[in-house]
DNA sequence: CAGTATCCTGAACGATACTG
DNA sequence: CAGTATCGTTCAGGATACTG
């Protein structure tokens, strides 16, 4: 598992370079914290895990069953990332067979609350977005049809 | 440009399958709107573009200069996606040389406002996250050192 | 049960060259 | 100026097999 460790730390090709006095430092720097957090929660599974753990602590297999599309490997990678960032607490019970439980930390719960505003926004505006997409696609289709009929 | 068009529409391998009555429909379905929105704004450049357009309308080259790490290709792809979703308005002025200006739509502005809460959360908690990472990494390093010295 | 370790594929992205 | 077209690389993530 090299990517789990390399995912966050190995990201400074110093591409984005703005530099000057700017009211938007938070988004113009490559190592921007916001971007890192967004990358964390917007990846394929993190949000699902956070949402499921919001209710109750769950075991590895329970999470797997709930999400079900996730591969064993990616669930592990996702959980490790969340644990590393202090969003999820991992508890190993020294029994056999092993029993490992995951739960949100208090930090994880505050993140979930914040994400809710995004969820709310999306639910409120998904109609507009769908309409915009449909409009754009039909416009594009028309243009293509007019160009190469 | 195949990926620009395929980016959003070609995403239903119907992997995540939960099904049963669940208070979390918004996050367990593969075609989840929240996930789509997150994918849009969390990609490499969208957030930067939205942030820059929050202030003023900008031309293609101006955006390119501001972001500067972005390739011509990705800026185009990003702008097209944002336009398709109704977050950004594209205006072509029929002059020569061409003059194309981009600005946020009202929908785009409301999204920016929503994202701000995430930014605020991040600024507030980045210390905790950094600490959690450092703690996790040192723990991990210790374990590795104890296993294979 | 809860993982690791490998291998492999597709697609995201960058670099480059060309155009209305 | 503001793109489009093509090519090559990288790497996230799935499939599979093996362990404490």
Per-position DSSP letters for chain A, written without gaps between them:
--HHHHTTTT---------SS-TTHHHHSTT-HHHHHHHHHHSTTHHHHHHHHHHS-EEHHHHHHHH-SS-HHHHHHHHHHHHHTTSEEEEEE--SS-EEEEEE-HHHHHHHHHHHHHHHHHHHHHHHHHHHHHHHHHHHHHHHHHH--
Query: What's the confidence (pLDDT) of residue B148?
Result: 52
Q: Residue A5 falls within a domain, yes or no?
A: no
* Tens-place pLDDT, residues B8-20: 333 333 333 343 3
Three-state DSSP at B124 gives helix
| Mean of per-residue pLDDT scores for chain B | 81
- Its domain, for residue B93, covers 33-147
Nucleotides of C under 7 A from a protein CB: 1-6, 11-17, 20
Q: Residue A69 falls within a domain, yes or no?
A: yes
Mean pLDDT, residues B24-47 taken together: 77
| Contact across the interface for B28 and A125, Cβ inside 8 Å | no
Query: What's the confidence (pLDDT) of residue A26?
Result: 55
**Strand boundaries in chain B, DSSP class E:** 58-59, 88-93, 99-104
Q: Is A2 on the interface with B (CB under 8 A)?
A: no
* CA B90 and chain centroid, separation: 19
Please name which of A74, A35, A27, A114 lies closest in space to residue B42, comparing C-alpha atoms. A35
Q: How far is A58 from chain B (nearest CA, A)?
A: 16
The CATH number of residue A95's host domain is: 1.10.10.10
Nearest by CB to residue A85, choosing from B38, B69, B129, is B129
* Tens-place pLDDT, residues B57-83: 999 999 999 998 899 999 999 999 999
Whether the predicted pLDDT of B53 surpasses 50? yes
* CA atoms of B27 and A45, how far apart (whole Å): 10
Both tokens of A10, joined, read 């190995």
Query: What's the confidence (pLDDT) of residue B36?
Result: 86
Distant-in-sequence, close-in-space partners of B19: CB < 8 Å, separation ≥ 6: none
Query: What's the confidence (pLDDT) of residue B17?
Result: 39
Q: Residue B80 falls within a domain, yes or no?
A: yes
Q: Residue B18 falls within a domain, yes or no?
A: no
Confidence band for A141, pLDDT divided at 50, 70 and 90: confident
Confidence band for B22, pLDDT divided at 50, 70 and 90: very low
| % chain B with pLDDT above 90 | 57
Q: Residue B23 falls within a domain, yes or no?
A: no
Stretch among A26-35, B50-59, B122-131 having the lowest mean pLDDT: A26-35
Query: What's the confidence (pLDDT) of residue A16?
Result: 36
Q: Residue B59 falls within a domain, yes or no?
A: yes
Q: Residue B117 falls within a domain, yes or no?
A: yes
Q: Which residues of B touch A70 (CB under 8 A)?
A: 16
How many structural domains does chain A have? Answer: 1
* CA B49 / C1′ C3 distance in Å: 41
């Amino acid at each position: 598992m090299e990517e789990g460790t390399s995912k966050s730390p190995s990201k400074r090709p110093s591409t984005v370079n703005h530099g000057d006095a700017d009211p938007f430092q938070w988004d113009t720097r490559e190592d921007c914290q916001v971007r890192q957090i967004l990358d964390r929660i917007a990846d394929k599974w993190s949000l699902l895990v956070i949402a499921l753990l919001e209710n109750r602590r769950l075991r590895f297999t329970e999470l797997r069953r709930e999400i079900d599309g996730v591969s064993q490997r990616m669930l592990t990678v996702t959980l490790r990332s969340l644990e590393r960032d202090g969003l999820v607490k991992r508890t190993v019970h020294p029994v056999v067979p092993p029993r490992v439980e995951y739960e949100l930390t208090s930090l994880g719960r505050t993140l979930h609350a914040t994400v809710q505003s995004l969820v709310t926004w999306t639910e409120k505006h998904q109609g507009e977005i769908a309409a915009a997409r449909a409009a754009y696609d039909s416009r594009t289709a028309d243009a293509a049809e007019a160009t190469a009929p």
